[in-house]
Amino acid sequence: MILRELESALPALLDLRLPGARGIDWGYIERELGVRLPQDFMELSEFYSSVILDDFLSVHIPDPGKEHEFISVAREFLSDLESLRESDMSHGYVPYPEEGGVIPWGDSRDGDTWYWKTGHADPDRWPVVLSGHSDDWVEIGESLTGYLAGLVQGRILPEGLPPDFPGRTPRVESD
């Protein structure tokens, strides 16, 4: 199972795990975005209705029957990135569907945004890109769940983030 590394690194997450798949319409999301999303994200979304790490990082998880809201939020973040690009503040990152464009998957209460950087034909190989609120842009060669597990385990430094994130015993919540 793809989620095993994250659930092992973050045992509190298991308290929020749903007993069965939620039944998200991934076909709709793929048609609207024009691309399949990474398998680890789809699995996380099927078994967790939301994930908020240490009251800071929120993963954008679609709700069954409300997939259009997930798409709407993604488009808002992509529009914001387009505005940054027009102001020459996107550090060369472009919104998807442009070649090698990024797709948002999370944000923080401080205004940080996490993306996948498309460009590889296999979405499971898309790296994570962090756009920090202080204009820090960091690209990490990890999947979403690998990145989160690495932050919690301390093997990935919180570049562009508060130095104390995540805490020693990170909390996980669902909203």
pLDDT band at 175 (very low <50, low <70, confident <90, very high): confident
Q: How many CA atoms lie within 13 A of 15 on its CB side?
A: 7
What is the rounded CA–CA span in Å between residue 132 and residue 141?
A: 17
CATH number of this structure's domain 4-173: 3.40.1580
pLDDT at 1: 58
Nearest CA to 29 among 96, 89, 107, 127? 96
Residue 134 has pLDDT above 90, yes or no: no
What's the pLDDT at 168?
87
Question: 41 CB contacts (<8 Å, ≥6 apart)?
Answer: 105, 144, 145
State pTM to two decimals.
Answer: 0.95
Domain parsing of the chain, residue ranges: 4-173
Largest CA distance in the chain: 46
